[in-house]
């Protein structure tokens, strides 16, 4: 049994965003701070990846643990009410993710999947991004004079 009435549940579910979520923003802030430059939500690529690093041919998908069924994560518990619907929905999302990943890899892209629960650990996320792409050189102004 749901804890709220159907009108309230509908309003709550309608407010769930698919772009610019908190985990996605955290991943973007860290990538930018590390010096990586990227494009957002490239429509020309399968699955419209959340972040695209064209220079390195890396596509990053940031998945919510609940919506994409993160195995073994405490945030990915399935609802007990209307269980058949939720199981089918999450399995469809997972199948779509696998299809999009395969299409991106077939097109020559490396796909990095970041989970909502992983984005909170900056050290681990830095390691994952750095292993997928070489660290960019710090910006240097060509006209700047060295300070003595």
Give mean pLDDT, residues 121-128.
Answer: 89
Q: What is the CA angle 136-137-143, rounded to 5?
A: 140
Mean pLDDT of 91-101: 95
Q: Is 59 left (phi over 0), alpha (psi -120 to 50) or beta?
A: beta
Q: What are residue 35's phi and psi, to 5 degrees?
A: 100, 0
Q: Cα dihedral angle (22, 26, 27, 28), rounded to 10 degrees?
A: 100
Tell me the C-alpha distance between 67 and 76, whole Å: 8
pLDDT for the residue numbered 29: 92
For domain 33-132, is the CATH number 3.40.50.620?
no
With a cut of 60, say whether residue 147 has pLDDT above it: no
The predicted-structure confidence for 15-61, as pLDDT tens digits, reads as follows 777 778 888 999 999 999 988 999 999 999 999 999 999 999 999 99
All structural domains of the chain with their residue ranges: 33-132
- At 61-92, the pLDDT tens digits run 999 888 888 988 888 888 888 889 989 999 99
Query: What is this structure's pTM?
Result: 0.79
- C-alpha 76/C-alpha 8 separation (Å) is 22
Cα–Cα distances (Å) from 6 to 9, 13, 93, in that order, read: 5, 10, 23
Cα–Cα distance between 116 and 127 in angstroms, integer?
16
């Amino acid at each position: 049994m749901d804890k709220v009435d159907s009108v309230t549940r509908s309003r709550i579910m309608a407010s769930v965003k698919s772009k610019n979520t908190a985990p996605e923003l955290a991943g973007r802030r860290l990538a930018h701070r590390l010096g990586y430059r990227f494009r957002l939500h490239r429509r020309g690529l399968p699955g419209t990846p959340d972040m695209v690093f064209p220079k390195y041919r890396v596509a990053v998908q940031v998945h919510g643990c609940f919506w994409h069924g993160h195995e073994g994560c405490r945030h990915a518990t399935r609802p007990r009410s209307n269980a058949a619907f939720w199981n089918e929905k999450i399995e469809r999302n997972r199948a779509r993710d696998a299809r999009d990943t395969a299409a991106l890899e077939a097109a020559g892209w490396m796909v990095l999947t970041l989970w909502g629960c992983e984005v909170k650990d900056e050290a681990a996320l830095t390691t994952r991004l750095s292993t997928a792409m070489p660290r960019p050189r710090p910006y240097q102004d060509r006209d700047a004079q060295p300070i003595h």
